[in-house]
Structure 1
Amino acid sequence: MMKQKDKLKISILVWNLSTNDGYIRASLLQKSLIQLGYEVEILGFLFGKELYAAIPPNTKLQAREGANYPKFFKSIGELIKRIDGDIIYAIKPQPASYGVALLKKLYTRRPVIVDIDDWEMSWHGGDSWQYRPTLKQFARDLLKSNGALRSPYHPLYLKWMEALINQADAVTVHNQFLQQRFGGTFVPNGKDTSLFDPSRYDSNASRNRYGLSGYKILMFPGAPRPYKGLEDILMALEKINQSDLKLVIVGGSPYDDYDRQLQQQWGRWMIKLPKFSADVMPDVVAAADIVVVPQRDTPETRAQFPLKITDGMAMAKPVLSTKVGDIPNILGGTGYLAAPGSPEEIAEQIQLIFQDLDAANERGKRARQRCIEKYSLEAMASSLKSVIARL
Structure 2
Amino acid sequence: MKTKLKISLLVWNLSTNDGFIRASLLKSALEKLGYETEILGFLFNKNLSAAIPSDTKLFAIEGGNYPKFFPAVNKVLKHIDGDIIYAIKPQIASFGVALLKSLYSRKPVILDIDDWELSWHGGDNWRYCPTLKQLARDLLKSDGALRSPYHPLYVKWMEGLVNHADAVTVHTKFLQQRFGGMLVPNGKDTSLFDPAQCNPDSSRSRYNLSEYRILMFPGAPRPYKGLEDVLIALEKINQPDLKLVIIGGSPYDDYDQQLQQRWGRWIIKLPKYPVDAMPDLVAAAHIVVVPQRDTPETRAQFPLKLTDGMAMAKPVLSTRVGDIPEILGDTGYLVEPSCPEQIVKQIRLIFENLESANQRGIKARQRCVEKYSIEVMASKLAPLITNLL
Provide, for residues 250-288 of structure 1, a one-character-per-residue CA deviation record: whole Å limited to 9, x for no partner.
Answer: 111111111111111111100111122222211111111
SS in 2 for 1:53: coil
In the other structure, the counterpart of 2:211 is 214
In the other structure, the counterpart of 2:345 is 348
Equivalent position amino acid for 1:40 in 2: T
Moved more, 68-77 or 41-50: 41-50
Contact 1:204/1:287 (8 A) holds in 2: yes
In the other structure, the counterpart of 1:280 is 277
- Structure 1 residues 207-286: aligned runs within 5 Å: 207-286=204-283
Contact 1:122/1:300 (8 A) holds in 2: yes
In the other structure, the counterpart of 1:118 is 115
Confirm or deny that 1:75 pairs with 2:72.
yes
Q: How far did residue 78 of structure 1 move?
A: 0.9
Provide, for residues 171-210 of structure 1, a one-character-per-residue CA deviation record: whole Å limited to 9, x for no partner.
Answer: 0001110000000001010000000001111222222222
Contact 1:104/1:110 (8 A) holds in 2: yes
Q: How far did residue 88 of structure 1 move?
A: 0.3
Q: How far did residue 30 of structure 1 move?
A: 0.4
CA distance in 1, matches of 2:332, 2:181: 28
CA distance in 2, matches of 1:54, 1:141: 32
> Which residue, out of 4, 12, 16, partners 2:13?
16
CA distance in 2, matches of 1:241, 1:207: 22
Confirm or deny that 1:311 pairs with 2:308.
yes
Equivalent position amino acid for 1:200 in 2: Q
Contact 1:90/1:101 (8 A) holds in 2: yes
SS in 1 for 2:19: helix
In the other structure, the counterpart of 1:57 is 54
SS in 2 for 1:320: strand
In the other structure, the counterpart of 1:28 is 25
> Which residue, out of 178, 186, 202, partners 1:189?
186
Q: How far did residue 5 of structure 1 move?
A: 3.7
Provide, for residues 103-161 of structure 1, a one-character-per-residue CA deviation record: whole Å limited to 9, x for no partner.
Answer: 11111010000000100000000001000000000111111111111111100000000
CA distance in 2, matches of 1:73, 1:191: 36
In the other structure, the counterpart of 1:364 is 361
Contact 1:54/1:276 (8 A) holds in 2: no
In the other structure, the counterpart of 2:155 is 158
Confirm or deny that 1:174 pairs with 2:171.
yes
In the other structure, the counterpart of 1:335 is 332
SS in 1 for 2:221: coil
> Which residue, out of 144, 149, 152, partners 1:147?
144
Contact 1:17/1:52 (8 A) holds in 2: yes
Equivalent position amino acid for 1:135 in 2: L
Q: How far did residue 390 of structure 1 move?
A: 1.1
Moved more, 167-176 or 47-56: 47-56
CA distance in 2, matches of 1:384, 1:276: 30
CA distance in 2, matches of 1:215, 1:152: 47
Runs of 5+ unmatched residues, structure 1: none
Moved more, 202-211 or 134-143: 202-211
- Structure 1 residues 316-327: aligned runs within 5 Å: 316-327=313-324
Q: How far did residue 66 of structure 1 move?
A: 2.1
The CA RMSD measured in Å over matched residues stands at: 1.0
SS in 2 for 1:21: coil
Q: How far did residue 18 of structure 1 move?
A: 1.9
CA distance in 1, matches of 2:213, 2:45: 36
SS in 1 for 2:54: coil
> Which residue, out of 371, 376, 388, partners 1:374?
371
Equivalent position amino acid for 2:15 in 1: S
In the other structure, the counterpart of 1:290 is 287
Moved more, 4-13 or 45-54: 45-54
Equivalent position amino acid for 1:275 in 2: K
Confirm or deny that 1:100 pairs with 2:90.
no
Equivalent position amino acid for 1:87 in 2: I
SS in 1 for 2:115: coil
Q: How far did residue 27 of structure 1 move?
A: 0.6
Contact 1:56/1:279 (8 A) holds in 2: no
Give the number of aligned pairs.
388
Contact 1:53/1:277 (8 A) holds in 2: no
Q: How far did residue 80 of structure 1 move?
A: 1.1
- Structure 1 residues 36-55: aligned runs within 5 Å: 36-55=33-52
Equivalent position amino acid for 1:225 in 2: R
CA distance in 1, matches of 2:210, 2:47: 33
Q: How far did residue 57 of structure 1 move?
A: 2.6
Equivalent position amino acid for 1:203 in 2: P
With structure 1 as the length reference, what TM-score do the two structures score? Answer: 0.98
CA distance in 1, matches of 2:127, 2:250: 29
